[in-house]
Amino acid sequence: MKQVTKTISMLSVAFLLVITTAFAGSSTVKPESKTEFFNRFGNINNVSWMQADLYSKASFVSNGEKVNAFFKNDGSFIGTSKEYSVDKLEAYVRETMNKRYLQHGYTVTSSIAFTNDEDVTTYYFYLESAKDKIVLQVTEDENLNVLKG
């Protein structure tokens, strides 16, 4: 039960970090976050940092992809996010998304892959229609969940 609670908690944290666009708090990034970043990713050029009340975010390019890395204020690693295409999903997940949403007036406005500190990747797709906005979550075991609707 603890593992399920931890997994749900981490997914909730990931979701909140991913959809957060406003950063409040200090403009000074915690040194613990920077230390952990360089330990994990090495000396990467052109890193852009943002500090929120509860976490730090480092944005950079790795292998031609834009990546965001998130760290708690104590420096512990939360995870990374990067853009992800619907076309990369398994065929049956794409077909399900298409049948349930895309054929009914929804369009994908953005999508990301979030990989947590345990190397588990979850995919988030932001969809809009003329009447509604929803977030779909696709887990590594290819379950499709509606998180906001």
The answer to whether residues 89 and 47 belong to one domain is no
State pLDDT tens for residues 35-80: 999 999 999 989 999 999 899 999 999 999 999 999 999 999 999 9
Catalogue the E-assigned strands of 5-143. Answer: 48-51, 55-62, 65-72, 77-83, 107-116, 121-128, 133-138
Domain hosting residue 139, numbered range? 84-149
The answer to whether residues 1 and 70 belong to one domain is yes
> Tokens representing 92?
């049956």
The answer to whether residues 73 and 90 belong to one domain is no
The answer to whether residues 23 and 47 belong to one domain is yes
Q: What does the alpha-carbon distance between residue 125 and residue 146 come to, in Å, rounded to a whole number?
A: 10
Given strand 121-128, what is the order of strands in its sheet? 48-51, 55-62, 65-72, 77-83, 107-116, 121-128, 133-138, 144-148
State pLDDT tens for residues 7-32: 444 444 545 454 444 444 456 899 99
State pLDDT tens for residues 124-141: 999 999 999 999 999 988
Task: Judge whether residue 94 has pLDDT over 60.
Answer: yes
Radius of gyration (Cα) for the chain, nearest Å? 16
Q: What does the alpha-carbon distance between residue 13 and residue 117 come to, in Å, rounded to a whole number?
A: 12
> Tokens representing 46?
């052109």
The answer to whether residues 53 and 97 belong to one domain is no
Q: pLDDT class for 148, splitting at 50, 70, 90?
A: confident
Torsion of CA 101, 106, 108, 109, to 10 degrees: -150
Task: Judge whether residue 116 has pLDDT over 50.
Answer: yes
CA distance readout (Å), 25 to 22, 51, 56, 85, 139: 10, 7, 10, 32, 31
Q: What does the alpha-carbon distance between residue 11 and residue 121 come to, in Å, rounded to a whole number?
A: 10
The answer to whether residues 62 and 93 belong to one domain is no
Last residue of a domain, one of 38, 62, 79: 79
